[in-house]
Amino acid sequence: MYLEPWHADIFEFLLMKRNTGKEDQRARDLFYALWIPDLFMKRVKSEGKWTLMDPNTTPGLSDCHGEEFEKLYEGYEAKGMGIRTVQAQELWFAILESQIETGVPFMLYKDACNAKSNQQNLGTIKCSNLCTEIIEYTSKDETAVCNLASIALSKFVNREKNEFDHQRLYEVTKEITYNLNRVIDRNYYPVETAERSNMRHRPIGLGVQGLADAFCLLRLSFTSPEAQRLNEDIFETIYYGAVESSVDLAAVEGPYETFQGSPASKGLLQFDLWKETPKSGRWDWAALKKRVVEVGMRNSLLLAPMPTASTSQILGNNECFEPFTSNIYVRRVLSGEFPVVNKYLVMDLIQRGLWSDKIRNEIITFNGSVQNVMDIPADLRELYRTVWEISQRTLIDMAAARGKYIDQSQSMNLFLESPSSGQITSMHFHCWKSGLKTGMYYLRTRPAADAIKFTVDAKRMKEVNDSKNVNSRTPSRGGSASQPEECFNCGS
């Protein structure tokens, strides 16, 4: 469920997933998200007031965005048409309380989603999907559909040359784009509104899995300058390949029905809408943009990095573009539980003659972190930092860097071991100021109690814990040894 923060029921909406309260006022099996206009963020920042409104008596607010929304909203305020007025920060802290307790609501920024959409000529986009990466227009006559595929980035690492094969990624991207167009043409549609939308606008959503795997294979720490550069270059390559393939198809089959009037029809691609320019110099964007204007595109949208919860497990990759959450954890699925170990770490330790029961038990004791396992060399401890040991600001910056090539959005989780209102506020505002469309999918937190420790020798655990108390090392911020089940809706 998506709701804009000006809605009169917003406070009740924020309580619906909470763990306590009247049962008849809770709906914990639903998923909640906010569709946030920039004006609300400005009011929170300035400690201003915020007016809650009834959409029946103040129509049109969900049908516009940007300056048009602000003019209409402030006009209703001036006329006294609101239901009640609160401090914007009162509502903000209610949002944060829900996120700390339940991990939701998801945060998406309405104005960024619309201003940077190639479907903006169709009308105002009013919501995303469950996994927060699909930004598509929908109406009473059309149900938005997206056709997804993910690319296993680990397969493009040339280990002999220790380099990433952008040419091969480009070729595979073009092939996938062609294949997804055949999916659109031959698919079975359960409802007519879905078929109408898919045939008219032909959106696809390319994503990735195994970015962390690729970094490990290339011996790059996740937040190193080289990894951050590669992160951006990978998505530039995918976007270029997808746009070129879509143009090639348009040359044969014609552009999608609603191409005229779109930003692309005017020579504006996603990075233009971000007011950015590609940096790698690898691809001839000027020539491609000329072809886009002359020939058109077969697809209105192309990239939508999804969670890849299921397929990444099948292919043995880490999920989507995230760092490893832990180097050893338990994965819970419908068929039961099983331990998962970071195979790259184990291979590195075996090659150096360091893998042993002692090392394994220490990693388990430190909840999947290697930062305090001093028998592991410093270069490996740096390489195998978990998401709990990485600055979230850096992850947000990496999301923004690839964001200028993502014409839909990306399922970006945020991770805080013990979140505070100040920390979450800082993260949300950094996401918003960075121009992200999805500011947060889930807020991931670590359980207060130690997670299950499996196959660990009790005596050895005591020895390690004793050493933790004696030594003045930095406390572990390792990932949990328990991995919750992900959403499978966008598991491509």
Q: pLDDT tens digits, residue range 299-351?
A: 999 999 999 988 998 999 999 999 999 999 877 778 888 888 899 999 999 99
Q: Is the pLDDT of residue 128 over 50?
A: yes
Per-residue pLDDT tens for 337-382? 888 889 999 999 999 999 999 999 999 999 999 999 999 999 999 9
**3-class secondary structure, 351:** helix
Q: Is the pLDDT of residue 474 over 60?
A: no
Burial class (CB in 10 A: 0-12, 13-18, 19+), 322: buried
Query: For position 469, what pLDDT does the model report?
Result: 53
Residue 189: C-alpha distances to residues 79, 136, 145, 192, 201 (Å): 46, 17, 10, 7, 15
Query: For position 330, what pLDDT does the model report?
Result: 79
Least confident of 355-364, 432-441, 480-489: 480-489
Residue scoring higher pLDDT (478 or 46): 46
Q: Is the pLDDT of residue 477 over 80?
A: no
The residue with tokens 């909203």 is 73
Q: Read off the pLDDT of each residue in 133-143 and give the average, rounded to a whole number.
A: 98
Phi first, then psi: give them for residue 276, nearest 5 degrees: -125, 165
Nearest 5°: the CA angle 156, 320, 256 is 85
Residues marked active site are found at 129, 131, 133
Query: For position 332, what pLDDT does the model report?
Result: 79
| 446 closest CA partner among 484, 411, 413, 479 | 479
What band does 453 get if pLDDT is binned at 50, 70 and 90? low
Query: For position 487, what pLDDT does the model report?
Result: 56
The residue with tokens 């006329």 is 79
What band does 478 get if pLDDT is binned at 50, 70 and 90? very low
What band does 428 get if pLDDT is binned at 50, 70 and 90? very high
Identity of residue 298:
R
Per-residue pLDDT tens for 190-215? 999 999 999 999 999 999 999 999 99
Query: For position 292, what pLDDT does the model report?
Result: 99
Q: Read off the pLDDT of each residue in 46-74 and give the average, rounded to a whole number.
A: 99
d(C-alpha 281, C-alpha 297), whole Å: 23
Per-residue pLDDT tens for 221-271? 999 999 999 999 999 999 999 999 999 999 999 999 999 999 999 999 999
Query: For position 100, what pLDDT does the model report?
Result: 97
Q: What is the DSSP string of 352-401?
A: TT---HHHHHHHHHTTT--TT-TTS-HHHHHHT--GGGS-HHHHHHHHHH
Q: Is the pLDDT of residue 457 over 70?
A: no
Per-residue pLDDT tens for 99-120? 999 999 999 999 999 999 999 9
Q: Are 234 and 208 in contact (CB under 8 A)?
A: yes
Least confident of 81-85, 365-369, 480-484: 480-484
| 415 closest CA partner among 384, 385, 435 | 385
Of all residues in the chain, the percent with pLDDT exceeding 70 is 91
SS3 letters for 122-146? Answer: CCCCCCCCCCCCCCCCCECCECCCC
d(C-alpha 254, C-alpha 246), whole Å: 10
Q: Measure CA of the first residue to CA of the last residue in the chain; give whole Å.
A: 22
Average pLDDT of the chain is 93
Burial class (CB in 10 A: 0-12, 13-18, 19+), 403: buried
d(C-alpha 18, C-alpha 101), whole Å: 7
Give pairs for 377-380: CB < 8 Å, separation 24+: 377/352, 380/345, 380/348, 380/349
What band does 488 get if pLDDT is binned at 50, 70 and 90? low
| 377 closest CA partner among 345, 336, 402 | 345
What band does 180 get if pLDDT is binned at 50, 70 and 90? very high
Phi first, then psi: give them for residue 490, nearest 5 degrees: -120, 45
d(C-alpha 213, C-alpha 211), whole Å: 5
Q: For residues 153-186, b (16+ Cβ closer than 10 Å) or e, as one string? A: bbbbbeeeeeebebeebbebbbebbeebbeebee
What band does 460 get if pLDDT is binned at 50, 70 and 90? low
Phi first, then psi: give them for residue 20, nearest 5 degrees: -120, 170
Q: Are 106 and 126 in contact (CB under 8 A)?
A: no
- The pTM for the full model equals 0.92
Query: For position 479, what pLDDT does the model report?
Result: 36
Contacts of 216 (CB under 8 A, 6+ apart): 344, 383, 384
Which tokens in the block code for residue 113? 């989603």
Q: Is the pLDDT of residue 484 over 80?
A: no
Q: Read off the pLDDT of each residue in 214-220 and give the average, rounded to a whole number.
A: 98
Half-sphere exposure of 3 (CA within 13 A, CB side): 21
| Strand 328-333 with 336-341, pairing | antiparallel
What band does 483 get if pLDDT is binned at 50, 70 and 90? very low
